[in-house]
Amino acid sequence: MPFTGGRIPASEQERTLVERRILWQFIVAPVVSFAALLGGFNLGWPGLAAVGVVGFGATALSIGGLAISERRLMFIRGGTMTPREYRYFIYDGLAAVPYGMAYVVGGVCLITVAGLFLSGASPEGMRAALLARPGLGLVPVGAALLFYGSGFVIGFVHRAGSPWQRAFGMLLDAPARLGGLILVALALAALVIGLVDLLSPAHFDRWFEFGYR
């Protein structure tokens, strides 16, 4: 994510908080989830692989929930050679809410798929259902893109200064916001098509048939 407007932690206490959270959310939890996923495939234990997928989903929910409630995102930038006081960045502001919602949508989708599998649904059956009703995939993908694009449009930069300085700052932010608007447009198209498919399958089927005549 090409974020701008981030800041380094304001105190040693805040830096420790960011460091610990990044360790658990972006390193420990994904590694454990990936180990379960990989182990399930290699050992022929699909249930263990599904637990790994649930782990990824729960991690995404944790990241998204904290971003929404705190209105901030935390990331590590640079490598181990970067001085510790400049290694961690915090992005404060309203834009963290839609970014967090995108994480939540992704987490819910992962947990739902894994839950269906653990409940007895086969991958082939889920794939067939998705092909039969594409809206099942288009709606969550569209929602995630909508939130993600909205985060780019809102942005984390808080411009100050004279009107000319703010105007120049808006020009600097324009590429990211333009990219966000493109994502929002794609998301709305996916949502409309997906909702038509789910709410009025007959209309969707007629569109599909017309497109392939």
User: What pTM was estimated for this model as a whole?
Assistant: 0.86
Q: DSSP readout, the chain?
A: ----S-B--SSHHHHHHHHHHHIIIIIIHHHHHHHHHHHHHHHT-HHHHHHHHHHHHHHHHHHHHHHHHHTEEEEE-S-TTS-HHHHEEEEESTTHHHHHHHHHHHHHHHHHHHHHHHTT--HHHHHHHHHH-THHHHHHHHHHHHHHHHHHHH-S----SSHHHHHHHHHHHHHHHHHHHHHHHHHHHHHHHHHHHHH-HHHHHHHHHHHT-
Instruction: Give the pLDDT score at 78.
Output: 73
Ordered by start, the domain boundaries in the chain are 12-211
pLDDT in tens, 26-53: 999 999 999 999 999 999 999 999 999 9
Instruction: Give the pLDDT score at 52.
Output: 96
Average pLDDT over residues 70-89: 84
The highest-confidence range among 54-63, 80-89, 196-205, by mean pLDDT, is 54-63
Instruction: Give the pLDDT score at 6.
Output: 80
